Structure 1
Amino acid sequence: MNPSTLIGILASVVLLGVVLFFSAENPSQFIDLPGLGIVLIGTLAATFISYPLKEVMRIFGLIGTVMRNERMYAQKDIEELVSISKIWMSGDIQKVEKALEKVSNPFLKTGVQLIIDMTPEQDIIDLLQWRISKLRAKEHAEAQLFRTMAGYAPAFGMIGTLIGLVNLMFMLGDGDMTAIGQQMSLALMTTFYGILLANLVFKPIAVKLERRTEERVALMNMVMQGLSMMSQKRRPAFMRETLKTFMADYEDELNDGNNGEAVSELRP
């Protein structure tokens, strides 16, 4: 499991434990299954209306992606690029094709194959940039799905609260203050559930997916830079140092902008 995700889950459990067992006289008061059902089912219903079925069905897979501790094989890609570049410099195309069979990164493999096919450098760059843009758009839409759900959850929490208040109005004539107080607390629980799900589940998943996309795009840009140098037949040693500097500069920028959080590793 991703360490930061695990820490977040544990912190959430601790937070809820404090709320339930230290801030309430009766922890069971925070359990309102009808209210939770209104928020969850309402949020899912609105999401199904907003998105095609195939996109909504990817929710569980995306949650699994956030939970996994994926790795970015930047160093491996650099070494494979440098190794293939050395063979390419020697002019032995058959050895290049044989080495290419061992490459696991499809983005890198596509670029090298285009170079072997003597495709002009600018055409290679244009194609790879198109693939990067396509990936960025696809994964932005995935993150936006959870941001949309984060907007729906509090709204359906308010709907549940309004339903509870309507029930409360019918009880005012009886003058039973205990029953009125219980109905008021239950009415507010749906708002609690909506805000909790939005800010502790949906929004964090969206941010995590966006961060993952940034890292994947950075790696793809690094590979594209290496392929450009390979197409120009730049020296492999120069290529290695340039790509290492590229990734180091990117990590520094990420750390400066995100309070020193390290870059996770994952494969584009």
Structure 2
Amino acid sequence: MALIPRKDLNSSTLVGIVTGMVLIILSVLLSAEEPGVFLNLPGLLIVIGGTIAATFISYPMKELRQVYRSFRVIWRHHDFPVDREIEEIVRVSILLGHGKLAAIEDAMARINNPFLRTGIQLVIDRIPTSDIDALLKWRIFKLRRQEWGEAQVFRSMATFAPAFGMAGTLLGLVNMLQAMDGADFKVIGLNLGIALTTTLYGIILANLLLKPVAIKLERRTEQRVMLMYMVLEGISMLGQKRSPSFIRETLNSFVAQYEDEIHSPSLEEIEERVEAETVEVPPPEREERR
């Protein structure tokens, strides 16, 4: 993994992983008379190797190539500049109201969000608002499905790891049963310890790394979806030639209302509520209320 600038480093990821590993190591050192018994290389190979093998069987290579990119995402701090996007939409609305298409083209060149640029370009090209809405919603759906699939890979791996940990435990128990013929309790205890540490490896790998990675990717997707729906609302009002002040206030209200939805575990709920509000409260009625 390439070095990440400190300002872009997501400290919570590093703190979480380091803290978890330190606590586990300290627990082993403080509780075990021989900490070396927790080092089980065959069990580690079974858990890691089996998890990777099962993942390759479950997913095509094209999807697995995205896993490395997704894993790098969790180490970076991602800002979602909602205020900046709102100001850019308002600026374009002002220029559009004065018919300054050339100035809009210059403003688009400074916009970093490709989703917003596409929407503004469609408005300038006088594409019907319904067609713009359908196209941009399709892009949101496509992005959500793609990133959900990347997170799902890690969730599947989190399911595989404990299962292979149990498989390693069964192998260790077989060795323990064979050692019982000699009635050597020291050998029996050693084999039992090796068997149980394999399950421990699977549980730690699943719950300290793989599941948290999946959750972090899903939360990032939720934030991006919320921002894209906000932009979609702004593009829709641009196409309807709403006033800049109305656009600003509406988008600020949108962000305030859906800020808590970032923490919701269901992306489908966000989409359903946005679509319901679009139907129940048309833009003309909201403008009259203001």
Q: TM-score range by the shorter chain?
A: over 0.9
Q: Which residue pairs with 1:231 in the alignment?
A: 239
| Segments of 4+ moved more than 3 angstroms | 252-255
The one of 169, 175, 179 aligned to 1:171: 179
**1:108-127 aligned within 5 A:** 108-127=116-135
Runs of at least 5 residues in structure 2 that lack an aligned partner in the other structure: 1-8, 266-290
How do 1:107-186 residues align onto structure 2 when only pairs under 5 Å count? Answer: 107-186=115-194
Matched, 1:21 2:29: yes
What percentage of residue pairs aligned between the two structures are identical? Answer: 51
Q: Say whether the 8 Å CA contact 2:136–2:232 is kept in structure 1.
A: yes
Structural mapping, 1:211-230, within 5 Å: 211-230=219-238
In 2, Cα distance between equivalents of 1:244 and 1:234: 15
Q: What is the letter of the counterpart of residue 161 of structure 1? A: T
The reply to whether residue 93 of structure 1 matches residue 105 of structure 2 is no
The offset of 1:73, in angstroms, is: 1.5
Hey, what does 1:73 align to over in structure 2?
81
Residue in 1 that maps onto 2:71: 63
Offset at residue 243 of structure 1 (A): 1.1
What amino acid does structure 2 have at the position aligned with 1:84?
Answer: V
> Deviation string for 1:114-158 (max 9, x for gaps)?
001000001000000000000111111111111110111011111
* C-alpha displacement of 1:167: 1.2
d(CA) in 2 for partners of 1:88 and 1:231?
A: 10
User: Whole-Å Cα distance in 2 between the matches of residues 130 and 43 of structure 1?
Assistant: 34
In structure 2, the residue matched to 1:264 is: none
1:48 match: 56
Q: What is residue 190 of structure 1 aligned with on the other side?
A: 198
Maintained 8 Å contact 2:97/2:241: yes
**Secondary structure at the counterpart of residue 259 of structure 2:** helix
Deviation at 1:28?
1.5
**What is the deviation of 1:254?**
4.1
Q: Deviations over 1:150-173 (max 9, x none)?
A: 111011111111111111121111
Q: CA deviation at 1:253?
A: 4.0
- The aligned amino acid for 1:58 is Q
- Structure 1, unaligned runs of 5 or more: 259-268
Q: Aligned-pair RMSD on alpha carbons?
A: 1.4
Structure 1 counterpart SS, 2:74? helix
How many pairs were matched up? 257
- Measured in 1, the distance between the counterparts of 2:47 and 2:64 equals 17
Deviations 1:64-97 (A, max 9, x none): 1011111112111111111111101111212211
Equivalent pair of 2:172/2:195 in contact (CA under 8 Å): yes
- Aligned residue for 1:84? 92
Counterpart Cα distance in 1 of 2:85 and 2:217? 22
| Secondary structure of the corresponding residue to residue 47 of structure 2 | helix
Q: Which residue of 2 aligns with 1:39?
A: 47
Query: Helix, strand or coil for the counterpart of 2:88?
Result: helix
How far, CA to CA, are the matches of 1:142 and 1:245 in structure 2?
Answer: 32
Q: Is the 8 A contact 2:226 2:262 kept in 1?
A: no
2:249 to 237, 241, 252: 241
Partners of 1:49 and 1:13 in 2: CA distance: 29
Letter of the structure 1 residue corresponding to residue 61 of structure 2 = L
| 1:113 Cα offset (Å) | 0.3
- The normalised TM-score by structure 1 is 0.92
Q: Write the distance in 1 (CA, Å) between the matches of 2:245 and 2:25.
A: 55
* Deviation of 1:8 (Å): 1.4
